Amino acid sequence: MSKLMNAIFCGLIFSSCTLFQDNSEKSDDGKVPTDSLNGDLAHIEAKVIDAQGLDGCKWLIETTKPDGSVARVQPLNLDDSFQIDGLKVKIKYKQADGMAGICMAGPIVEIEEIKIAD
C-alpha cells in the first residue's frame, strides 16, 4: 500500500512541475519580442531590478509592453557598472537559447548593447 501511495505522490509532484516551461510572450519565430524603429532593432527602454531577495535570482531587466503590462528578463552578462537597482537603461538583447535557470522570473537573455537612458 505504501508503494502505491509513494507512486501516486511522485506522479502528482512531477505532473505539477513546470521545469523548462516558458510562459513569457513570444513572437512567431519563438523569440522574445523587441521594439522596432524604422524596421531596425532598437534599444528598448528598461529598468534594472535587484531581485536578489527572490530565490535563485540576481538582477532582472524590466520593460513595459505597449499594453502596459510588465515583462522581465534575466540577463546573463549584466556588467557590474549597471548593477544599480532602479537604473533606467536602453538595452538590446537576444534570448539565450537552451538555457534554464531557477529564478523563473522571465527568459534568460544575453545583452548585446546597454547604455544609461537619457
Give the span between the Cα atoms of 50 and 52, in whole angstroms: 6
> What CATH number is attached to the domain comprising 80?
2.40.50
Alpha helices per DSSP H over the chain: 2-16
Q: Provide the number of structural domains found in the chain.
A: 1
- Give the domain extent around 91: 2-116
Model-level pTM?
0.63
Give the span between the Cα atoms of 23 and 105, in whole angstroms: 10
DSSP designation for 33: P
DSSP designation for 30: S
Reading the chain (118 residues) residue by residue, the pLDDT tens digits are: 666 555 555 554 444 443 333 334 444 444 444 443 333 456 889 999 999 998 889 999 999 888 999 999 999 999 999 999 999 999 999 999 888 889 988 999 999 999 999 8
